[in-house]
Structure 1
């Protein structure tokens, strides 16, 4: 009798876990601010489009509002402005190029599209804001080729697109009238809360995961307040305790001091009394209530600064924690009576030669990553453009749009985004078909579009599949309201999506797996070199400001390498590739543990080594071996 071939239970369990993780969105809090701003901006765009009754104006207005809402987050107001404005300008440039390509010769359209894809891909490797700008350049280049209104001036779609994005930006900046620093306070509150959780987890099995969460929260604070690390310290290294203008930067300075001690405690597994975690939680609570003067300066009746120093005893690590929390408490009490806007002070510390070398090495690595990124996007766009001409000569922009949205290596695995795109498009088309069959008047369709747009910020935070599910009905409703028979295009859109995802997987994922593994090894090597620089600062007993900078650079690069390897390890790949990613991930965990233990050793004055001046060989030693 022939026995059926069964897959190993581990393989089935791994595939089931991966697919479950792919489908189920991660739990996130509801972003009420971006949700309300998205609904109001889309309502303003649709009302304006209905009043002027111009199809060539209605779609750019609504699309500009839609993509600006997708880029709206609860960041600091300066970062929020950049993250909305720069992608909007990129989208305006893309829609201008796309409108010129509608009647161009196919060869010219192909070469131009590939060139735009290469530039957009290289831009996207520079950071989150640049990634959003590069994405909108290519997306709007694709959409600009399918916009109605062939007789409109070349500048008109870009102006309407910017007018659609402007309300989102203005609404996002409206609360800044009451204080620019409040989003930074909320980010600081999350970092202090994560640090409190780390202190509670010291000595338990979840200490490592809590320390990584605290590192990610601290990275978010530094991204929201760039350049402010040690900005309030003078030449002698003493922080000004009553500087209301620099209070968020000063609180970050205290947070860095406390995080160094907390990481050292996690590495040494020294017992942490409960009032220390309670003090960190109390600071987080008062930062969340920073909009109320009384709530910001009032303690919750827990341990005072005298109690913390008494509990610290002779422990230098607990003493540093007590000093950092006492200083932060004083800043909050001063800030409750002296409320001013935050002004970021200038940094007077000149970069050292080692720092310049690391910046140059990082720039060279980013150039290599950017070129690889651009080539992947350009190759997929070069294949998608003639495929769209073969499938749908008149409306082939959807296939290029799929390529632009899926080939985003900085946002996760291309294969995972392709599956998200496919599932989200199928569900979105079904929802759009149901909506168009039930609602026929323009007012009802406008209300549905506003409601779906309000869900864009939440769906973007959940997963890319949820975002695709929400955006697809909005696009079909906008096409139907502009006079395009959207119901007849749903089958074509599904075919274009499947073809685009296939091109992304075949040309944008499979040929680049070896280069991705090399990039992973480069990131681990860079993290190891950064950690070596931090250990060198510890051995040479350098200034505290330089030690803090080196420590944050080490933990930041380790966290980035860990995130990249976690994405790679979760991909459905061959066993050898998954094993290599898992081994590199274990190396990163070991390096993080070395950083924790080294920090704990370096902060103990009795155990510190003498400053290292040179490395002697064993033959030069006169004393006993250590």
Structure 2
């Protein structure tokens, strides 16, 4: 029972299904995009293996586009699919070029592996492009698609990807005419604002605060992604940016209200919900700003913020549509220039030893997978390497978790494919299974990697089966080869490396970095905000810090699925929650300062910053934080209390960790004496 209790947290993390909204438009696009090419080939000639193989290849290309059809803004969706489809097609062409030449194949696989490993340092989309470049380079270099001449295969694959891209472009254009993704994203911000004010308990307020942070991040990402020369001159788009920026003071005030546990007026909550409904759909009535007479600096700040929101909403209501005569510079992160793109491409080459060490690990595992496949005379050696490539992507999550989930997902997927092959008649009836499986891609992808692997494995086996014909050996080899690849990842790419065993220390460094960022934010937020640029700078700092907190939560949550660091990750979750409350207290103090026209003592702010830096040093060193002088009374009193709570959480973990090390030391001494 003790062992079960100790391991159950990481087991639960492995099987946890993350809640996510079903995007029915993406479901339909995936189903149509993947099924139509292979379905047409079966209609043309269900007995011609060449025609069916071409249809299956086109469906594989559409499969890549379906996986990458993410994001809200149509322009961003098109860019993602274009980049990854191009990378996958180039990888496919590289594989076809070296097929049948063992030396060239090895060189090509190593080159593709290095590109895939380094792409993660550029960004998430580039990382996906690098992954699919490697996946299809390995696939094409180790498989014969039965087409003559061979260069037809990558062209057909590219055609399938372009077909899927066209579906997304048409759908995004129809939806984008009404700026629907942008409106929904901003409406979600005001819905989350209302939920933050309506929260009745500390737990509810924490959950609402996290949703508000995520909604803000999504809204800004959506507007930046949709920012083009055309949209910038659209009056409606400019006004949506204004409405989003108008939420910044309201967010600060809502955080202050929640931190001080002040009860927000019900009519204010109703107003915010009405604004959210109107932004999402203009057919809803535009709400009127309620008149409130509640006292208190936090409520006064909230009322002032809502007045700004009301002005922005009224301006948007009267704007109509058309082009702006004069372009107004939106208060959004700047679009990337060509120099920025070059810098991002150069980054992997100078990213440091850790990036190159991971590249070496991946190359080693791929080389071993290639060697094992040759030694065992596997019919489909690429399956082992594909399992290695897809599991060893640390920027997508824990390597351990992805390897385990990939293995179990493959078992489930193979079982589905085996049942389909055994029970569903041939001659095109498999389409009735491929269609719902393709529709499940956007549903399963954000929820659990194991579930996603099961669906992708089923589709891959069925698409190959249509071309190669029914074969029980195909199904069993798919299972055994993938399990072999996952074993290589765990035994060669995960367990022996120092980075695996230093993971708890690295987590502590990340949490310490968050504490130092909060100290910097305190200096920005609590200084006198005289001009609009001061307020914008403080708002930008707040957005960046809350996004960093959300990213830290994601990083630590991924670590919960690893037995080695699950306990440390659970402890750091508590510390991150305490540091988030410190951040809320700083925001509340800054909001109170502005609303009451008071000034926070600079020395008190510096003492608070010093306390946070000492906390960061203690977390990084693995010791209990030292006692520091309180910052003062008034607006900073709550911040002192929350810093004390964060110090207590860090002290509890350091004490627990010291006891654990002592027990290990005593056990080692006892073993030596025996």
TM beyond 0.5: yes
For 1:367, the equivalent position in structure 2 comes to 351
Q: Which moved more, 1:50-59 or 1:432-441?
A: 50-59
User: What is residue 143 of structure 1 aligned with on the other side?
Assistant: 139
The answer for the alignment partner of 2:417 in structure 1 is: 432
Aligned-partner Cα distance in 1 for 2:466–2:98: 24
Corresponding residue of 1:580: 568
Q: What is the rounded CA distance, in whole Å, between the counterparts of 1:350 and 1:121 in structure 2?
A: 28
User: Are 1:445 and 2:430 counterparts?
Assistant: yes
CA distance in 2, matches of 1:111, 1:509: 24
Following TM superposition, by how much is the alpha carbon of 1:260 offset from its aligned partner in structure 2, in angstroms? Answer: 2.0
Residue in 2 aligned with 1:305?
Answer: 289
2:549 aligned residue: 558
Cross-structure match for 2:210: 212
Cα 1:453/1:522, change in 2 over 3 Å = same
Residues 342 and 204 (structure 1 numbering): CA distance in 2 closer, same or farther, change over 3 Å? farther
Tell me, in whole angstroms, the C-alpha distance in 2 between the residues paired with 1:506 and 1:330: 62
Give the deviation of 1:81 after TM superposition. 1.2
CA contact (8 A) 1:530 1:553 kept: no
Q: 1:24 to 1:515 in 2, by over 3 A?
A: closer
> Would you say the 8 A contact 1:95–1:141 is kept in 2?
yes
How far apart are 1:49 and its partner, in Å? 3.5
Deviation per CA, 1:181-201, whole angstroms, max 9, x where unpaired? Answer: 211222222232222211111
**Structure 1 residue corresponding to 2:446, chosen from 436, 461, 486:** 461
Aligned to 1:528: 515
CA distance in 1, matches of 2:512, 2:396: 22
For residues 78-97 of structure 1, the aligned pairs below 5 Å read 78-97=75-94
| 1:496 CA displacement | 0.9
Deviations 1:72-111 (A, max 9, x none): 1351112111221111111111111222332122x44334
Deviation, 1:597, is 0.7
Q: Root-mean-square deviation (CA), in Å?
A: 3.5
Structure 1 residues 341 and 476 mapped into 2: Cα distance closer, same or farther (>3 Å)? farther
Distance 1:520 1:450, change over 3 A: same
- CA offset at residue 613 of structure 1? 14
Contact in 1 for aligned 2:256/2:584 (Cα 8 Å): yes
Distance 1:477 1:86, change over 3 A: same
Between the two proteins, the alignment pairs up a number of residues equal to 579
1:154 Cα offset (Å): 5.7
**Cα distance in 1 for residues equivalent to 2:435 and 2:303:** 54
Q: Which residue of 2 aligns with 1:124?
A: 120
The reply to whether residue 272 of structure 1 matches residue 259 of structure 2 is no
Any idea what SS the aligned residue of 1:541 has?
coil
Please show how residues 202-601 of structure 1 align to structure 2 within 5 Å: 204-226=202-224, 243-289=235-281, 293-295=282-284, 298-299=285-286, 304-307=288-291, 309-311=292-294, 315-334=299-318, 337-338=320-321, 346=329, 367-368=351-352, 370-510=355-495, 511=497, 512-542=499-529, 543-573=534-564, 577-601=565-589
**Residue 276 of structure 1, CA deviation:** 2.4
Q: Secondary structure at the match of 1:540?
A: coil
Q: Secondary structure at the match of 1:462?
A: coil
Judge conservation of contact 1:569–1:582 (CA < 8 Å) in 2.
yes
Contact 2:20–2:447 (8 Å) recurs in 1: yes
- Any unmatched runs of 5+ in structure 2? 335-339, 608-631, 634-674
- 1:167 matches 2:163: yes
CA distance in 2, matches of 1:63, 1:250: 42
Question: Within 1, Cα distance between the matches of 2:280 and 2:375?
Answer: 56
Q: Using the alignment, how far apart are the partners of 1:524 and 1:614 within structure 2?
A: 21
Per-residue Cα deviation, 1:245-267 (whole angstroms, up to 9, x for no partner): 31232222122232222222222
Match of 2:591 among 603, 606, 609: 603
Q: Distance in 2 between matches of 1:27 and 1:386?
A: 40
**How does the TM-score come out when normalised to structure 1?**
0.83
- Do the aligned partners of 2:253 and 2:301 also contact (CA within 8 Å) in 1? yes
- 8 Å CA contact 1:479–1:485 kept in 2: the answer is no
Instruction: Check the 8 A contact 1:26/1:463 in 2, yes or no.
Output: yes
Distance apart, 1:399 and its partner CA: 0.6
